Amino acid sequence: MDTSRKAYHEQVAESLIAQLKQGTAPWQKPWQPGDPLLSFPHNPTTQKRYRGINALYLMSKDYADPRWLTYKQAAGMSAQVRKGEKSTWIQYWKFTDERIKQDDNGKPVLDGDGKPTKETVKLERPRVFYASVFNAEQIDNLPELSIEPPSWDPIERAEQILQLSSAAIEHGEYDRAFYRMVTDRIHLPHKYQFETPDRYYATALHELGHWTGHASRLNRDLAHPFGSEGYAKEELRAEIASMLLGANLGIGHDPGQHVAYVASWIKALEEDPLEIFRAAADAEKIQDYVLAFAQQQELTHQEAIKMDEIRQDIATYTASLTPDLATVARQNHQQLQKLIEHLPVPQQNALYLVADALKFYRHLSIDNLEFEHVSQNKLGLSIPADWNGRVAIQGSVVESDDDGPHHVVPAKEVSVDPVFWGIYAQCNDQTWVWMADFDVEQQAIDAAEKLALIEAMAERSEYEKAVKLARIHELRIGNNPRSTLDDITLAKDQRKHAEALAMQNDADFNKRRQNMETGQTINAHQKQHQNTGKESDHTSHTSRQYLAVPYSEKDQAKAAGARWDKVAKAWYVGENADIRALQRWLPENVPVQQNPAIDVQAEFAAILRDNGCIVEDNHPVMDGLSHRIKVEGDRPGEKSGFYVVHMDGHPAGYFNNHRTKVEIRWRAKGYTLTEAQKAAFTAQIAIKQQERKAEQQAQHVKVAQAIKALLAIALPANGDHAYLQDKNARPGSLKVVPQNTDGLTQDSIIRICNDRQEVKSVREQHPDSLVFVAGDLLLPIYDAHGDIWSAQTIQPNGTKLFVAGSQKEGHFHVVDGNSQEPVGLKALDNTKAIIIAEGYSTADTVSQAINGPVVAAFDSGNLIPVAKQLHDKYPDKPIVITGDDDQHLVALNGKNTGKGKAQEAARLVNGIAVFPVFAANEQASQKLSDFNDLANKSVLGAEAVKRQVGAAIKKVIQQTTIQKHPTQTQSESQSRHQVGTKAKTQKQALV
């Protein structure tokens, strides 16, 4: 390749940019289904198509024939490139190389035939190669182009892909198509709203392309708002993938819906020519991921037979019921179908199969490991066999310690928003077992609903099943933001009706009621008679020859003549059985498969060793806390392994090898814990927690002392800082991180970098130090006694960070821009009311409006503890929470966290929460949320802040006065009433 020319990626990008401007780029061309030339560039000698950027570049050339090959390849086919024709360059990358294997002495390793053996090695630096190819239209004597039509129905195959993907697809809610990452759902109009079926499937597959970008799949960056550059880049990937899929499946490609992104695509490629290479590579990954579904079989043959058996059993069972009960059963079946109709067929079948296995386990005593295997295989969730049907969802966060380890805690306990959501199943002993974690709350809700459906489907009583299905329906209606009050009321009434029917038809309940009404009791003679009958019935079966039949083989045993003993809950040889066929299940012919139970600590230790951990000292520590552990390949001082084990209930844990990226969620399979061991573990956990609290407190004190020393040498901030300029905020008592550590002691843990590029290397060199960047704002954080415990740094771009290892909860900063000295709590002593805001800029805006001090709590999760602390210190002062109203987040995740936390904080301290009121259409269009936005971005301006907050302060002061002096206020009111009455009487007398 001529190196004097522009770089290859620049040439390709310039060519595609020119075509984008003309509307002729490959993915901008509409292709109709059945087009005979709907074929990608491919090499006729290797029968392989060109991929990635090579495919796009070749498609951009003005040739109709999709065949491309080198000069030598054409000559090998007895063809000839015409004189004067120009070739097209394509690019290949080589990531591995094949070399002759050598021994420790550097000599070749020979195989059995005495020939050198070869090995494939990964190249440290991938190599790039170029090749020049010619189109078939540039070559003479090539065979005629022959393209065979697809051997499948394009529409059927597209539908199969959607079903097998198990993607959640909602129809008809909106008149547009989109994928919502927060709920991990695809939204499409109804099928009848599309002109043709192929248009529907082309649109659906385009959104399925976006769906592959979720973190649990191909993990692309999807968190970009509509109209942004990041959003346009994702659309570029999905559009190229749509073209690839449309051609591969034969359903065509319609680019008309995405012309709005052309300008953004052009801008992105002009700024970074390599972006088209990355986009093409990602599009290939999307296509490969989606087409993999088409290569799966919808159901295995055995699974299909099993589903037929289940359907037949349901029909036979319903036909055998009394008319009233059969009606309930049919209604249950209809209700179940409505509840699962939105699921792909494979997922519906999975629910039936797992419910069937659960039914057999509960009533026919199949092996618990067999049931857990079925649930894991069909659902991807290992349901504990002793599950009692209850499921719980817990929003959680990971709390990190200063030395690195972290542990999972419920988000409610630390008053923050959940980062992920876990599903827990309750066992018969009332303990909860962790099952799975989800990044999106809706995913956890969907999974929990599937488990509830399985529980209902496994229920033998039709009346109880009706109750469980009605509860699922009621919960779904309640969680749907589109549900009306009438919908919710109707679902509630349906559930109550089902519960009433279940009570009326509960045999035990009716029997107890009848006994209470008639006063009859079963005498001892009747009881003895019943017991005798049971014993004789059991004795009649003592001659049966029982079998050891696993659940997975029960159908084969049944076909050979085995029968089920409901009393003994085991299979036995039937009267007309083929004894030879049943020989394999005789107890003496079935080896014991389950290993004896082992100590739970030894079991988890084996897991750690198998995954590269160096298990020594007292590892593993089973105290429910997080621990670091050495792994193979660690350098001295490194601990790249992390684990946590919970011993309450069924022992379970989590392990992550950060070096190999191996991640394991473990649950004990066989374990024995004596009462003494349980007590020892409980004591150990209590001791560890006590030690942990002491260590944390010592670390908090150490960090606080370092922060005080830093604040002592830091200079006051001025109004020129970019963040203060952007927020129109005063510097107040803020400090600035100095340029160096001059003035600090030699053993100080403070490190200061000149820029953010240094931070990573400094932290690696000094892992126990606190690293700051010169020029960042410093915001001291103190408690209700005025003691400094932490600090917040604010970067010029507005990024806010808290000092690692410090204590923030319940601590705050008092903003009073009228003074450059740290005013602290003194500023609150003379105020009539205490005003609390979230961030510094909002607090300063409110402080300017009321010309007084305002407390900054830093975030919504800290509003409640700060309000409680200040209420305890100033019990006679009313509190006003000037909260954030994040209405734009409701559409994304269905919650307005800032508003909710502010209201709760105000309620707990008997205060008032006030939120900014913007001009019409301002808040939604500009995503405005706090009083700083009201002052600086709204047409209402700072006067609106003064007016709105001032009214709230006046109201809360009046409210507090009435509460403090109710008798005096009442007397004054009565006095005014008496004066008014007297005046009225006098007036009447004059008249």
What confidence tens digit (pLDDT) does each residue in 969-990 have? 444 444 444 444 444 333 332 2
Token pair 């799975």 is found at: 436
The predicted structure's pLDDT at residue 682: 45
Shared domain for 656 and 797, answered yes or no, is no
Token pair 């057999």 is found at: 360
Lowest mean pLDDT across 59-73, 413-427, 832-846:
413-427
Work out the pLDDT band at 790, boundaries 50, 70, 90: very high
CA–CA separation, 791 and 803 (whole Å): 6
Rg (CA), the chain: 36
CA–CA separation, 566 and 386 (whole Å): 19
The predicted structure's pLDDT at residue 544: 67
- Residue (of 982, 885, 424) closest to 665 by Cα position: 424
- 3-state SS class at 88: strand
Average pLDDT, the chain: 79
Asked if residue 70 is part of any domain, the answer here is yes
Residues β-bridged to residue 94: 127
Asked if residue 158 is part of any domain, the answer here is yes
Lowest mean pLDDT across 374-388, 514-528, 863-877, 946-960:
514-528
CA–CA separation, 26 and 125 (whole Å): 32
Query: Tokens for 904?
Result: 């709760």
Asked if residue 936 is part of any domain, the answer here is yes
User: How far is the first Cα of the chain from the last one, in angstroms, to the nearest whole number?
Assistant: 114
Work out the pLDDT band at 151, boundaries 50, 70, 90: low
Cβ contact 650:432 at 8 Å:
no
The residue among 561, 587, 613 that closes a domain is: 587
The predicted structure's pLDDT at residue 701: 92
Lowest mean pLDDT across 207-211, 608-612, 678-682:
678-682
CA distances from 98 to 94, 124, 369, 411, 694 (A): 11, 13, 45, 52, 57
Cβ contact 442:479 at 8 Å:
no
Statement: residue 841 has pLDDT above 80: yes
The predicted structure's pLDDT at residue 767: 82
- Residue (of 417, 446, 485, 480) closest to 896 by Cα position: 417
Hey, what amino acid is at 681? F
Shared domain for 945 and 874, answered yes or no, is yes
**Phi, psi (degrees; rounded to nearest 5) at 201:** -75, -30
Statement: residue 149 has pLDDT above 80: no
User: For the chain, how many structural domains are there in total?
Assistant: 6
Cβ contact 121:99 at 8 Å:
yes
CA–CA separation, 563 and 193 (whole Å): 54
Long-range own/partner contacts, residues 618-623 (CB < 8 A, 24 or more apart): 620/645, 621/645, 621/688, 622/647, 622/651, 622/653, 622/681, 622/684, 623/647, 623/681, 623/684, 623/685, 623/688, 623/689
Statement: residue 203 has pLDDT above 50: yes
Q: Using CA atoms in the order 162, 164, 170, 172, what is the torsion angle rounded to 10 degrees?
A: 40
Mean pLDDT on 338-356 = 85
Q: Reduce the secondary structure of 211-268 to three states and give it as a string.
A: HCCCCCCCCCCCCCCCCCHHHHHHHHHHHHHHHHHHHHHCCCECHHHHHHHHHHHHHH
Cβ contact 309:317 at 8 Å:
no
Shared domain for 850 and 973, answered yes or no, is yes
Work out the pLDDT band at 277, boundaries 50, 70, 90: confident
Percent of the chain with pLDDT over 70: 81
- Enumerate residues 6+ apart whose C-beta is below 8 A from 233: 264, 268, 275, 279
Query: Tokens for 926?
Result: 């500009």
Shared domain for 987 and 858, answered yes or no, is yes
Where are the strands (E) in 172-248, listed by range? 178-180, 185-188
CA–CA separation, 478 and 487 (whole Å): 9
Cβ contact 833:957 at 8 Å:
yes
How many Cα atoms sit within 13 Å of 80 on the Cβ side? 3
CA–CA separation, 130 and 124 (whole Å): 20
- Enumerate residues 6+ apart whose C-beta is below 8 A from 512: none
Shared domain for 201 and 101, answered yes or no, is no
Shared domain for 625 and 754, answered yes or no, is no
- Strand order across the beta sheet in which 562-565 lies: 546-547, 570-573, 562-565
- Residue (of 820, 824, 873) closest to 853 by Cα position: 824
- 3-state SS class at 281: helix
Asked if residue 755 is part of any domain, the answer here is yes
In what helix (H) or strand (E) does residue 395 lie, and over which residues does it extend?
A: strand 387-400
CA–CA separation, 111 and 547 (whole Å): 52
The predicted structure's pLDDT at residue 590: 53
- 3-state SS class at 321: coil
Statement: residue 143 has pLDDT above 70: yes
Work out the pLDDT band at 517, boundaries 50, 70, 90: very low
DSSP-derived letter for residue 862 is G
Statement: residue 514 has pLDDT above 50: no
Hey, what amino acid is at 892? L
Query: Tokens for 491?
Result: 């679902």
Q: Using CA atoms in the order 940, 943, 949, 954, what is the torsion angle rounded to 10 degrees?
A: -130
The predicted structure's pLDDT at residue 396: 86
Lowest mean pLDDT across 447-456, 581-590, 959-968:
959-968
Shared domain for 229 and 287, answered yes or no, is yes
Mean pLDDT on 345-369 = 78
The residue among 646, 673, 700 that closes a domain is: 673
Query: Tokens for 675?
Result: 């009462």
Q: In this predicted model, what pLDDT tens digit does every residue of 705-762 receive, in sequence order?
A: 999 999 999 999 988 999 999 999 999 889 999 999 998 998 899 999 988 888 888 8
**Phi, psi (degrees; rounded to nearest 5) at 31:** -120, 130
CA distances from 610 to 322, 373, 613, 631, 638 (A): 57, 22, 7, 11, 19
Statement: residue 893 has pLDDT above 80: no
CA–CA separation, 244 and 561 (whole Å): 54
Shared domain for 106 and 251, answered yes or no, is no
Shared domain for 180 and 287, answered yes or no, is yes
Statement: residue 903 has pLDDT above 60: yes
Per-residue burial over 190-214, b = 16 or more CB atoms within 10 Å of its CB, e = otherwise: eeeebeeebbbbbbbbbbbbbbbbb
Shared domain for 713 and 843, answered yes or no, is no
Query: Tokens for 584?
Result: 């394999």
- 3-state SS class at 301: helix
Residue 91: which domain range?
A: 35-140
Mean pLDDT on 472-493 = 85
pLDDT, greater one: 291 or 908 = 908
Statement: residue 489 has pLDDT above 60: yes
Cβ contact 927:884 at 8 Å:
no
When mean pLDDT is compared over 84-88, 663-667, 755-759, the highest value belongs to 84-88
Q: In this predicted model, what pLDDT tens digit does every residue of 596-626 receive, in sequence order?
A: 445 678 888 988 988 889 998 788 988 777 8
Hey, what amino acid is at 679? A
Shared domain for 666 and 696, answered yes or no, is no
β 834-837/879-882 pair status = parallel
Burial degree of 553 (CB within 10 A; 0-12, 13-18, 19+): middle
Residues β-bridged to residue 854: 815
Shared domain for 655 and 704, answered yes or no, is no
Cβ contact 276:60 at 8 Å:
no
Output the DSSP codes for 481-531: TT--HHHHHHHHHHHHHHHHHHHHT-HHHHHHHHHHHH-----HHHHHHHH
Statement: residue 966 has pLDDT above 70: no
Q: In this predicted model, what pLDDT tens digit does every residue of 285-312 receive, in sequence order?
A: 998 888 877 765 544 555 667 777 788 7
* Angle at the Cα of 687 from the Cα atoms of 683 and 693, rounded to 5 degrees: 145
Mean pLDDT on 885-901 = 78
The residue among 625, 641, 673 that closes a domain is: 673
Long-range own/partner contacts, residues 894-898 (CB < 8 A, 24 or more apart): 894/481, 897/417, 897/860, 898/838, 898/860, 898/929
Hey, what amino acid is at 948? Q
pLDDT, greater one: 560 or 537 = 560
CA–CA separation, 728 and 844 (whole Å): 9
Asked if residue 342 is part of any domain, the answer here is no
Asked if residue 105 is part of any domain, the answer here is yes
CA–CA separation, 855 and 702 (whole Å): 25
CA–CA separation, 368 and 371 (whole Å): 5
Asked if residue 679 is part of any domain, the answer here is no
Lowest mean pLDDT across 81-85, 307-311, 417-421:
307-311
Helix axes 52-59, 275-294, angle to 10 degrees: 100
Alpha-carbon dihedral sign for residues 334, 339, 343, 348: negative
CA–CA separation, 709 and 545 (whole Å): 84
CA distances from 583 to 543, 573, 576, 785 (A): 18, 10, 15, 81
Q: How crowded is residue 336: how many other Cβ atoms within 10 Å of its Cβ?
A: 19
Statement: residue 379 has pLDDT above 90: no
Maximal CA-CA distance, the chain: 134
Asked if residue 382 is part of any domain, the answer here is no
Percent of the chain with pLDDT over 90: 21
